[in-house]
């Protein structure tokens, strides 16, 4: 089997970033969260996984993010079957290849935006000075270069979510998984976050947005709709930016 390194050395960028191959997830009591789901996320895609509560979105996020294992089928991240990896290697995959953005921002209230982003890299083996440099660059990318010294309570909801996105992209992960990223925002702030995702996508960032909002999903290049744990529809391969790895 292939064992992922803790860096990108030796990675075949022709592999899909994430692939689900006939994946099912069944919980105790016979609850079927996902049923025979197959899909591929390629480098440079921006897509939405949309469905109402109970459709299987959260289970799919957990499997894509290597936070859970399928009951049947295979989940591959950059060609590596996660079921065959040790806990240490799974932790390395999550740390280096996957960035998470959640509905709740999970920012330390007493720390500045710069510190919140930098401290998200504590387990990457990056020296402290370099972490702060990468954090500053990420905050610049999300339009918060002027707010680095501000604490979460001094920022708007949209700015806090942008800080959380900066933390997710700081080490340039293979994919960003965003779980209801506009769920706690008003319409204006939500539109700003959506615009930011389009900007990051145009720069080659691979982004999967999990959402219950069909209006938000309709604004993304590719839409996968879940219903009762199955893929009801898939609009097809999303737009891949010019020059993005394939």
Q: What is the pLDDT of residue 14?
A: 55
**Is pLDDT of 9 > 90?**
no
pLDDT tens-place string over residues 194-221: 999 999 999 999 999 999 999 999 999 9
8-33 mean pLDDT: 81
Model confidence band, residue 6 (pLDDT cutoffs 50, 70, 90): very low
- Max CA pair span of the chain: 51
Looking at every residue in the chain, the average pLDDT score rounds to 90
Superfamily of domain 45-65+86-234: P-loop containing nucleotide triphosphate hydrolases (3.40.50.300)
| Dihedral Cα 87, 88, 89, 91, nearest 10 deg | 80
DSSP track, 154-218: GS-HHHHHHHHHHHHHTT--SEEEEESTTTTS-HHHHHHHHHHHHHHHHTT--EEEEES-HHHHT
* Contact (Cβ atoms closer than 8 angstroms) between residue 166 and residue 144: yes
- Quick one: what percent of the chain has pLDDT higher than 70? 90
* Contact (Cβ atoms closer than 8 angstroms) between residue 209 and residue 48: yes
Q: What is the pLDDT of residue 125?
A: 83
Q: What is the pLDDT of residue 124?
A: 85
What are the boundaries of each domain within the chain?
45-65+86-234
**Is pLDDT of 11 > 90?**
no
Cβ burial 125-151 (10 Å sphere, 16+ → b, else e):
ebeeeebbebbbebbebbbbeebbebb
Q: What is the pLDDT of residue 123?
A: 81
């Amino acid at each position: 089997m292939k064992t992922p390194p803790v860096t990108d050395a030796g990675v075949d960028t022709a592999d899909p970033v994430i692939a689900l191959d006939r994946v099912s997830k069944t919980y105790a009591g016979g609850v079927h969260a996902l049923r025979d789901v197959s899909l591929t996320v390629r480098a440079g895609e921006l897509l939405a996984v949309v469905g109402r509560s109970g459709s299987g979105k959260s289970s799919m996020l957990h499997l894509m993010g290597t936070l859970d294992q399928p009951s049947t089928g295979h989940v591959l991240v950059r060609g590596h079957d996660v079921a065959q990896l040790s806990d240490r290697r799974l932790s390395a995959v999550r740390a280096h290849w996957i960035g998470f953005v959640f509905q709740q921002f999970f920012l330390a209230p007493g720390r500045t935006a710069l510190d919140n982003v930098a401290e998200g890299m504590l387990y990457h083996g990056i020296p402290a000075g370099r972490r702060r440099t990468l954090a500053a660059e990420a905050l610049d990318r999300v339009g918060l270069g002027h707010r680095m010294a501000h604490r979460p309570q001094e920022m708007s909801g949209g700015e806090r979510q942008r800080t959380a996105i900066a933390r997710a992209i700081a080490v340039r992960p293979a994919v960003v998984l965003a779980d209801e990223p506009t769920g706690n925002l008003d319409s204006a702030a939500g539109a700003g976050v959506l615009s930011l995702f389009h900007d990051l996508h145009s720069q080659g960032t691979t982004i999967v947005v999990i959402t219950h909002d069909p209006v938000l999903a309709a604004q993304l290049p590719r839409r996968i709709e879940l219903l009762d744990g199955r893929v009801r529809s898939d609009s097809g391969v999303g737009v891949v930016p010019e020059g993005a790895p394939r």
